[in-house]
């Protein structure tokens, strides 16, 4: 076309208002330049797409002959698209220009990476992927204008454009398809990329499905004839005849068989252990199978509805591939899934269902509180002796760790170790139910958890308080002085004042530490189970010398106590070294554990004697203990529940229904949050597992 033939491609009269229309004319005329390169066409099309999706200006029309009323009725976010479509529908030359430019750009665009890899987890690892995304953001790089994934982010350069596309009125999207239709050659090229992507995804699923970690957890051990090996061949048959009912049915059956195999692997995680690689593989398989179904649907159904949903989805996943926030969120989701897959059954031990269980929880909490008296006494000595920092952290951590291990071995309970595990137990309920039934089941579990937590916490606090007072009385009788001198009393009272110390922040930080310790302790246990350490101990060659029975007993002991020991030791040393880290770095880091804090406070109050009732510092310290109680439990349980719900993919509507059901239960049966109902007594069969 001659340059002059396009001088009036945008028939905008001189009296038309708005700089936006003038900007539109600039980029349309750029497409009309006969000497324009492919790169120039890409740039012009990208600027046109960005002009259409611009949302910060309401376009002023004033264009004679336009259906102005229709544009005025449209939403502000789609008025620009209305204008461009009105222009193109009234100009055959403009439609031909768009078709020619799109054909040039799309005919040799490589869509394989977008269709087969966009939005799917990669094999690079979080560190390599993070550095790569940072480099792409801040360093110069080639435009990659033959990569359809890159072109898509140039045309729709804002992450919100995916929602814009999804929300477009259907009639408007159909008009846009007619105006911006690509030629037959470009369509065939895109369909070929779809087919290649389907085959590549099938091959990736097969490779992951027959990996060693997956094979070891499946009942079917044969590789030939397995669903994994059948899938690529079934995919080839479907690609040869995408609409053949028999081939498609067999292909879908193989996809369902692969999904069943991944579910079988998940069911074995509790007994065989889980690794990050295994969780990653399962996640990739599930999402790759979903992508295969989407691509096949696009091969057989290219209706406007299907194309609009697919385009919005690919824009969304492409932006997710370049976002650091999305990368962090995705890896946190995988970590959450890894943690929760094994933690749910452990949490059931901390949930009381019957009144007998409830009474037993009080008893074990009293035992835990009494053991903590000694822990609190030693903690105060270590804090007041001003040892070198490393030694202080080690002695404090050792004190805590030994105490927590002892509590577990004598049948005691420490309330603040419960929340992380019970949060995972709630996530299991989400998997076993749906709809209103899910909300009611969750509320029932929440009520059980609340009363169990309250029983354990109050049992701990009452026992450690009485035990600390009795310990100080015995110390006074034996030594003639109180366990704490006046300087120690002043130190303790000041430490728990919520206004004059960092008690509130430290208590919340301790809640985070309680949650992290459960993750790390569970990771240690999982590491041992995944590598079959107990079995290795039982079958070790030393059995010839020590006896197989002894080694078997040792292996059983390790398997039985590894989870509680690892969590207790990790928690102990994290609590011990956090204050030391604060002193070393100058950061405001310290811990406030409700049971330990109550023990220290009661040692101080015992020294004050009757004068405690006139000492305002004691009242403020008690309020600090109350805040510590709330924050320890709320923060640790809240984090555990959030991670568990994220791992199970709970939606916003799920959370809303849970809140509504919880509100109803609180109003109708508030006593369930305090004491088990009588009808549950003795019916252990009613436990939810």
Q: Is 659 helix (H, G, I), strand (E, B) or coil?
A: helix
How much is the average pLDDT of 206-210? 90
**Between 464 and 20, whose confidence is greater?**
464
Residue in the structure block whose two tokens are 């009393």: 489
- The DSSP H or E segment spanning 18 is none
Distance of CA 321 to CAs 115, 134, 324, 325, 589, Å? 13, 12, 8, 10, 36
Give the pLDDT confidence score for residue 373 in this predicted structure: 94
The whole-chain average pLDDT of the chain stands at: 80
- Sorted by where each begins, the domain ranges of the chain are 351-675
Q: Is 180 helix (H, G, I), strand (E, B) or coil?
A: coil
Give the pLDDT confidence score for residue 331 in this predicted structure: 58
Give the pLDDT confidence score for residue 248 in this predicted structure: 93
Name the DSSP class of 64: T
Distance of CA 326 to CAs 147, 330, 336, 647, Å? 21, 6, 15, 15
CB-based burial label for 142 (10 Å; 0-12, 13-18, 19+)? exposed
Q: How confident is the model at residue 573 (pLDDT cuts 50, 70, 90)?
A: very high
Q: Radius of gyration of the chain from Cα atoms?
A: 33
Give the pLDDT confidence score for residue 1 in this predicted structure: 41
CB 422 within 8 A of CB 449: yes
How crowded is residue 517: how many other Cβ atoms within 10 Å of its Cβ? 25
How much is the average pLDDT of 303-319? 88
Q: How confident is the model at residue 218 (pLDDT cuts 50, 70, 90)?
A: confident
CA nearest neighbour of 640 among 344, 213, 298: 344
Give the pLDDT confidence score for residue 421 in this predicted structure: 55
Residue in the structure block whose two tokens are 């292996």: 555
**Between 657 and 11, whose confidence is greater?**
657
Residues 220, 226, 229, 232, CA torsion sign? negative
How much is the average pLDDT of 218-232? 84
318 - beta bridge partners? none
Give the pLDDT confidence score for residue 234 in this predicted structure: 94
Q: pLDDT above 70 covers what percent of the chain? A: 77
How much is the average pLDDT of 565-590? 91
Highest mean pLDDT among 116-130, 134-148, 337-351, 665-679: 665-679
Q: How confident is the model at residue 330 (pLDDT cuts 50, 70, 90)?
A: low
| Residue 685 pLDDT > 50 | no
Q: How confident is the model at residue 386 (pLDDT cuts 50, 70, 90)?
A: confident
How much is the average pLDDT of 490-499? 92
Question: Both tokens of residue 49?
Answer: 């797409």
Give the pLDDT confidence score for residue 186 in this predicted structure: 82
CB 591 within 8 A of CB 513: yes
CA nearest neighbour of 567 among 389, 688, 419: 419
**Between 508 and 678, whose confidence is greater?**
508
Q: Is 147 helix (H, G, I), strand (E, B) or coil?
A: strand
CB 564 within 8 A of CB 517: no
Q: How confident is the model at residue 4 (pLDDT cuts 50, 70, 90)?
A: very low
How much is the average pLDDT of 252-261? 93
Task: Give residue 331's Cα distance to chain centre.
Answer: 7
Give the pLDDT confidence score for residue 29 in this predicted structure: 78
Q: What is the pLDDT of residues 338-364, one digit of tens each?
A: 555 554 445 455 677 888 888 889 999
Question: Both tokens of residue 17?
Answer: 């208002």
Poorest-pLDDT segment among 53-62, 531-540, 616-625: 53-62
**Between 449 and 606, whose confidence is greater?**
606
| Residue 217 pLDDT > 80 | no
| Residue 143 pLDDT > 50 | yes
Residue in the structure block whose two tokens are 């019957």: 354
Q: pLDDT above 90 covers what percent of the chain? A: 26
- The DSSP H or E segment spanning 220 is none
**Between 86 and 177, whose confidence is greater?**
177
Q: How confident is the model at residue 255 (pLDDT cuts 50, 70, 90)?
A: very high
List phi, psi (to 5°) of 244.
-70, 120
Question: Both tokens of residue 134?
Answer: 């940072």
CATH label, 351-675, candidates 1.20.1630, 1.20.1080, 1.10.3470, 1.10.287: 1.20.1080
Q: How confident is the model at residue 24 (pLDDT cuts 50, 70, 90)?
A: confident
Q: How confident is the model at residue 406 (pLDDT cuts 50, 70, 90)?
A: very high
Poorest-pLDDT segment among 194-208, 377-391, 494-508, 536-550: 536-550
CB 572 within 8 A of CB 448: no
Residue in the structure block whose two tokens are 């990659």: 144
Give the pLDDT confidence score for residue 681 in this predicted structure: 40
Highest mean pLDDT among 49-53, 414-418, 642-646: 49-53
Query: What are the DSSP calls for 384-434, one per residue?
Result: HHT--HHHHHHHHHHHHHHHHHHHHHTT---GGGSHHHHHHHHHHHHHH--
Give the whole-angstrom CA distance, residue 106 versus residue 231: 30
| Residue 274 pLDDT > 70 | no
């Amino acid at each position: 076309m001659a340059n002059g033939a396009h001088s009036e491609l945008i028939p905008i009269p001189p009296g038309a208002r708005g700089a936006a229309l003038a900007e539109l004319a600039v980029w349309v005329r750029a497409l009309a330049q006969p000497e324009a390169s492919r790169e120039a066409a890409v740039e012009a099309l990208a600027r046109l797409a960005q002009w259409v999706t611009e949302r910060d200006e309401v376009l002023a029309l004033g264009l004679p002959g336009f259906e102005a009323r229709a544009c005025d009725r449209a939403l502000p976010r789609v008025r620009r698209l209305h204008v461009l479509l009105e222009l193109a529908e009234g100009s055959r030359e403009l439609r031909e220009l768009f078709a020619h430019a799109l054909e040039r750009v799309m005919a040799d665009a490589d869509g394989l990476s977008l269709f087969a890899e966009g939005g799917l987890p990669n094999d690079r690892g979080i560190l390599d992927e993070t550095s790569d995304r940072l480099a792409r953001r801040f360093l110069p790089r080639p435009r990659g204008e033959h990569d359809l994934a890159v072109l898509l982010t140039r045309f729709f350069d804002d992450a919100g454009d995916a929602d814009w596309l999804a929300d477009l009125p259907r009639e408007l999207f159909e008009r846009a398809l007619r105006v911006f239709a690509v030629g037959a050659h470009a369509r065939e090229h895109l369909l070929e990329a779809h087919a290649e992507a389907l085959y590549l995804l099938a091959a990736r699923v097969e490779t992951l499905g027959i990996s060693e970690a997956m094979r070891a957890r499946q009942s079917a051990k044969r590789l030939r004839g397995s669903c994994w090996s059948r899938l690529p061949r079934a995919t080839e048959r479907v690609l040869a005849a995408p609409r053949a009912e028999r081939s498609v049915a067999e292909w879908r059956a193989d996809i369902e068989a692969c999904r069943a195999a991944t579910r079988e692997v998940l069911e074995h995680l509790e007994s065989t252990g889980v690794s990050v690689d295994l969780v990653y593989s399962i996640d990739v398989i599930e999402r790759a199978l979903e992508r295969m179904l989407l691509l096949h649907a696009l091969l057989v159904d290219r209706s406007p509805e299907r194309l609009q949903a697919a385009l919005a989805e690919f824009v969304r996943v492409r932006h997710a591939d370049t976002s650091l926030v999305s990368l962090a969120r995705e890896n946190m989701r995988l970590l959450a899934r890894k943690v929760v897959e094994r933690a749910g059954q452990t949490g059931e031990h901390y949930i009381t269902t019957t009144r007998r269980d409830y009474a037993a929880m009080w008893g074990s909490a009293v035992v835990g509180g009494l053991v903590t008296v000694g822990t609190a006494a030693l903690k105060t000595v270590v804090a007041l002796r001003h040892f070198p920092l490393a030694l202080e952290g080690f002695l404090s951590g050792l004190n805590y760790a030994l105490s927590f291990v002892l509590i577990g071995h004598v049948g005691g309970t420490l309330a603040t170790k419960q929340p992380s595990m019970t949060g995972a137990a709630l996530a299991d309920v989400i998997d076993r139910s749906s709809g209103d039934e899910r909300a009611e089941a969750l509320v029932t579990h929440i009520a059980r958890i609340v009363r169990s937590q309250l029983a354990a916490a109050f049992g701990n606090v009452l026992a450690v308080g009485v035990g600390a007072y009795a310990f100080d009385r015995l110390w006074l009788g034996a030594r003639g002085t109180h366990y704490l001198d006046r300087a120690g009393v002043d130190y303790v009272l000041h430490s728990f004042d919520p206004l004059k110390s960092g008690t509130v922040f430290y208590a919340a930080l301790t809640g985070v530490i309680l949650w992290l310790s459960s993750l790390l302790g569970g990771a240690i246990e999982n590491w041992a189970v995944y590598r079959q350490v107990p079995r290795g101990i039982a079958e070790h060659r030393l059995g010839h010398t020590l006896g197989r029975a002894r080694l078997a007993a040792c292996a059983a002991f390790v398997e039985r106590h590894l989870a509680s020991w690892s969590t207790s030791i990790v928690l102990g040393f994290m609590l011990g070294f956090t204050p030391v880290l604060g002193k070393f770095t100058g950061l405001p880091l310290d811990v406030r554990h409700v049971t330990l804090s109550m023990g220290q406070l009661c040692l101080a109050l015992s020294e004050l004697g009757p004068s405690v009732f006139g000492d305002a510092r004691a009242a403020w310290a008690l309020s600090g203990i109350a805040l510590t109680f709330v924050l320890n439990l709320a923060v640790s349980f809240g984090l555990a529940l959030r991670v568990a719900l994220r791992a199970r993919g709970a939606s916003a509507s799920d959370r809303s229904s849970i809140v509504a059901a919880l509100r109803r239960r609180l109003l109708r049966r508030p006593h369930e949050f305090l004491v088990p109902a009588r009808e549950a007594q003795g019916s252990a069969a009613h436990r939810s597992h």
